[in-house]
Homo-oligomer: A and B are copies of this chain.
Amino acid sequence: MPTRLSNYFLRTLREDPADAEVASHKLLVRAGYIRRQAPGIFAWLPIGLRVKEKIERVIREEMTAAGAHEVHFPALLPREPYEATNRWTEYGDGLFRLQDRKGGDYLLAPTHEEVFTLLVKDLYSSYKDLPLAIYQIQDKYRDEARPRAGLLRGREFTMKDAYSFDYTDAGLDASYQAQRDAYERIFTRLGLEYVIVKADAGAMGGSKSEEFLHPTPVGEDTFVRSAGGYAANVEAFTTIAPEPIPFDGLPEPKVLPSPNTPTIATLVDLANAEYPRPDGRAWTAADTLKNVVLALTHLDGTREVVVVGIPGDREIDDKRVEVAFAPAAVEAATDDDFKNHPGLVKGYIGPWSADGAVLGSESSTGIRYFLDPRVVSGTEWITGANLDEQHVFGLVAGRDFTADGTVEAANVREGDPAPDGSGPVELARGMEIGHVFQLGRKYAEVLGLKVLDENGKLVTVTMGSYGIGVTRILAIIAELNNDDKGLIWPPQVAPFDVEVLAMGKDAAAFDAAETIVGDLETSGFDVLYDDRPKLSPGVKFADAELVGIPKIVIAGRGVAEGVVEVWDRRSGDRATVPIDGVVEALRG
């Protein structure tokens, strides 16, 4: 049965929704695929459901091919399992929490590691039961601070989440690879170009993690890649630390006046003007050590002020510093923080003063001090002297100051060496389309999932977690496949294979359209038929362009001569074909 627009629950809108910033959001709403219910929360209309189901079908087929079994968990879950893994707390404001009528604590699950672990614990007890991969396609909830971009970052979203269970590391590697391979097939089938990048596994508590990114200049994620094949998101990039240098014989540090040098640039100018290097080489920002004051909020709610030292030619990268200090939350220090720590002389902060260490656990302030990996022992720096309008020159790391630890907080730059030695990296942008994690034994350990191994010994299970945002993928496909007229779906996810437009008022055009619709249905095409009477060709064209079915058949004036037009929405090509040649033309 063809779907007839005369009685289909589909209405296109003329105006972009007021809150829409990105193309997919605007177009999916205007073309009648989704409707907003609350920030980041949408209802699916019939034509939208069709696209969603096509994507889900591809995912289901590849999950089955990978040997995964489908289950379905509720969104509403009790607090206890998430309390056990500490995620009840760690998720912070991002978790929707509620109580039932008896005061029991519940959450709307943002992801399901805990309850999948408990399910397997309930039912399985032997290594013979493993490996196991189970998955669901299910609606998840995260209370995003700034839900935006429509389905790209919603508060409710459909996700395919799979979990693997093994009792050996080699088993986990194989399960991980099977899911990774399935992801490659899924994205290939969906027509989504992808790059697999190393990712930080810390947030999930895992040991290894990769992201599937669709590379696109408008992507919200930055990643790095080398010509030699290295690829990682910026959070996962690791810096090659230089070798330490002997500092024997280096001159003592000198405190020098440096008025009006609130920035690295002004400091470098002053240094070159007032204190030139004996060998004539110019000072650059890379010779300075920039000390950034941050405030950490730990899980127990305590606030700690720390200082991070990085070369002056780098900036703190928000995402990298977040990962570096996770699970604590990081923000810039406030005026209050400075007031509470008078030892920090704003604009002239450094790890050292003439009286000794200023930063670090052993210092007078007791403020923990972290260094960029490039600040190795023996390197010399210009940095704040902890005196107003004074800097210290020739301060030597490892001799004059030390740190409480190293952090990867500085930004990655084009040309930085890839950590695997495969050459300099370039920066690129992408959108996350999938994420695979080796969780290892963290969840199984905490929740007590053990099985008997070949020797009758209880061993803790090792797990993987594998996610694809179904509704996000749909939005990304929409984001990548449109023009100024509307959506242009790739055939494999299009809600219909072909749309037939009956144009004008002439019954002959409608009769021809009916014939063509019948032929197409018989030949296995899914057909959307614009049979609406009394609408101008202009309105029908505009709707067809907006809705984005990839192939369009136009039955209009040509019908008198026995022909219709077949229009390829993507290429714009139009061909005139005989009425009885439409099926063949669309197959060709």
Contacts and interface: CB of A to CB of B under 8 A. Distances in A.
A7 B43 contact: no
A48 B32 CA distance: 34
Counting every copy of the chain, the complex holds: 2
Given A77-B37, A78-B38, A156-B76, A71 B43 contact: yes
A113 interface: no
Given A9-B134, A38-B78, A72 B101 contact: no
A517 to B, nearest CB: 18
B73 A9 contact: no
A74 interface: yes
Contacts of A187: none
Given A38-B77, A71-B44, A77-B38, A132 B9 contact: yes
Contacts of A414: none
Nearest to A72: B44
B43 A73 contact: yes
A9 B69 contact: yes
Contacts of A44: 71-73
B67 A101 contact: no
A88 interface: no
B76 A141 contact: yes
Contact of A74 (B9, B49, B139): B139
B145 A101 contact: yes
A96 interface: yes
Interface stretch (A117-125, A244-252, A294-302, A577-585): A117-125
Interface in A329-387: none
A67 B143 CA distance: 37
A585 B199 CA distance: 56
Contacts of A122: 35
Given A93-B101, A101-B143, A101-B145, A7 B67 contact: yes
Given A7-B67, A11-B124, A49-B70, A75 B37 contact: no
A68 to B, nearest CB: 9
Contact of A115 (B43, B71, B94, B155): B43
A96 B104 CA distance: 12
**Closest 9 CB pairs between A and B?**
A98-B98, A9-B69, A44-B72, A11-B123, A93-B101, A38-B78, A43-B73, A46-B69, A74-B156
